[in-house]
């Protein structure tokens, strides 16, 4: 009797194989599949790799040419479009260490104006190569140093004459002639004027562009220091005679001087506040402070108050040197005011067109 042989493959598996189903897996194969599935699950969702973006940045070459000899000094390469003229000056300084950025003047045209440090390179570009003309501006100083030096000198010089040094005045004459009260008042007013200027330079004014030629500071110091010596010598001289109309003339002039000094300070604070707030879209308007109401009549009231201070000081002391200095200051202030008034007309025409520059109707 023959024994029935057990098939090696069960019947259902045989049917799956016959129908094209999956063949049975071994233990090792099932374990490998399990590990692969765990790896896929732990890796998370497979994301397609993003396509690489090819960004092309156009760099400029800046050719720097001497304005006089027309010879090329150097080429500043790989200048990005976002760079400013100040960045170019710093790269130029690395190539030519003897030219500091503060003394480098660059022009787009041979006889054109000097470009500002904040000028964008992209705004100057017509092609990939930009030609700029170089001018040596000379030794430069900061604006803060400029004004501190210019105003500190008169303050100290006047005090040297006020104490009547033996090298300046005769001591016998100084002891014999007592000082008139207007001499002390003039010293107070003169010191107050320059102390105000120094404090405003440090804490109120904000200076742009940062530098000015050293020769300008020398000329300014020669003007202010020289006139201060002349003025202080006459007022503090033992033979100085008081004003003709006595106490009334001195009192009214001193009051006008103090009002002009206060007005000048409040106008400078108002202008500085407008600059710090970044609001340059409108002309400075008067506030509740009565000293700022002069904005309704003139566009440069700070120059009006400055001229008023020196005119009042002239009436108070009644001396020729102060009168000449006040006359020159009024001329200089009027020129500065007219120049600034023209700039205001371009920016704020509807608000400034009916105003005077410094003195109503006259200027």
Give the model's pLDDT for residue 320: 97
Q: What's the confidence (pLDDT) of residue 277? A: 58
pLDDT score at 206: 85
Per-residue pLDDT, 43: 52
Closest CA relative to residue 332, chosen from 180, 224, 236, 204: 224
Report the candidate in 97, 112, 99, 27 with the shortest Cα–Cα distance to residue 67.
Answer: 112
- DSSP letters spanning 121-177: HHHH-SSSEEEEEEEE--SEEEHHHHHHHHHHHHHHHHHHHHTT-TTTS-HHHHHHS
Q: Is 180 exposed, middle or buried (0-12, 13-18, 19+ CB in 10 A)?
A: middle
Question: What pLDDT shows up at residue 286?
Answer: 87
Domains and CATH numbers, the chain: 60-138 (3.10.20.90), 140-241 (no CATH), 243-362 (no CATH)
pLDDT of residue 28: 54
**Tens of pLDDT, residues 322-333:** 999 999 999 999
Question: For residue 274, what pLDDT is reported?
Answer: 77
Give the residues of the chain that fall short of pLDDT 50: 1-24, 51-52, 54, 363
| Greatest Cα pair distance in the chain | 164
pLDDT of residue 226: 98
| Phi, psi angle pair for 10, to nearest 5° | -60, 165
pLDDT one-digit tens code per residue, 98-116: 998 989 999 999 888 899 8
Nearest to 331 by CA among 249, 233, 223, 198: 223
Bridging pattern class, strands 104-107 and 140-142: unpaired
Residues 6+ apart with CB under 8 A from 170: 238
pLDDT at position 34: 58
């Amino acid at each position: 009797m023959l024994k029935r042989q057990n098939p090696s493959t069960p019947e259902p598996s045989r049917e799956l194989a016959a129908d094209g189903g999956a063949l049975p897996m071994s233990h090792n194969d099932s374990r490998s599949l399990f590990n692969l599935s765990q790896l896929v699950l732990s890796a998370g969702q497979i994301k397609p790799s993003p396509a690489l973006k090819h960004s092309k940045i156009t760099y400029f070459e800046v050719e720097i040419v001497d304005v006089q000899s027309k010879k090329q000094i150097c080429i500043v390469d790989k200048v990005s479009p976002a760079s400013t003229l100040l960045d170019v000056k710093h790269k130029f300084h690395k190539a030519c260490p003897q030219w500091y950025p503060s003394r480098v003047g660059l022009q787009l045209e041979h006889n054109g104006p000097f470009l500002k440090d904040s000028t964008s390179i992209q705004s100057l570009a017509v092609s990939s190569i930009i030609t700029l003309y170089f001018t040596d501006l000379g030794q430069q100083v900061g604006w803060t140093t400029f004004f501190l030096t210019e105003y500190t000198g008169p303050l100290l010089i006047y005090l040297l004459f006020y104490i009547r040094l033996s090298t300046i005045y005769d001591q016998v004459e100084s002891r014999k002639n007592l000082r008139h009260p207007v001499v002390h008042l003039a010293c107070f007013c003169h010191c107050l004027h320059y102390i105000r200027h120094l404090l405003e330079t440090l804490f109120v004014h904000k200076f742009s562009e940062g530098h000015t030629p050293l020769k300008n500071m020398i000329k300014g110091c020669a003007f202010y220091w020289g006139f201060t010596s002349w003025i202080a010598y006459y007022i503090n001289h033992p033979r100085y005679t008081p004003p003709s109309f006595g106490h009334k003339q001195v009192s009214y002039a001193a009051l006008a001087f103090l009002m002009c000094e206060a007005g000048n300070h409040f106008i400078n604070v108002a202008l500085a506040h407008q600059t710090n707030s970044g609001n340059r879209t409108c002309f400075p308007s008067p506030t509740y402070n009565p000293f700022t109401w002069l904005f309704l009549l003139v566009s440069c009231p700070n120059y009006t108050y400055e001229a008023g201070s020196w005119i009042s000081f002239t009436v108070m002391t009644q001396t020729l040197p102060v009168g000449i200095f006040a006359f020159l200051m009024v001329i200089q202030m009027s020129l500065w005011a007219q120049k600034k008034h023209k700039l205001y007309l371009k920016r704020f025409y509807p608000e400034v067109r009916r105003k005077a520059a410094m003195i109503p109707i006259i200027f």
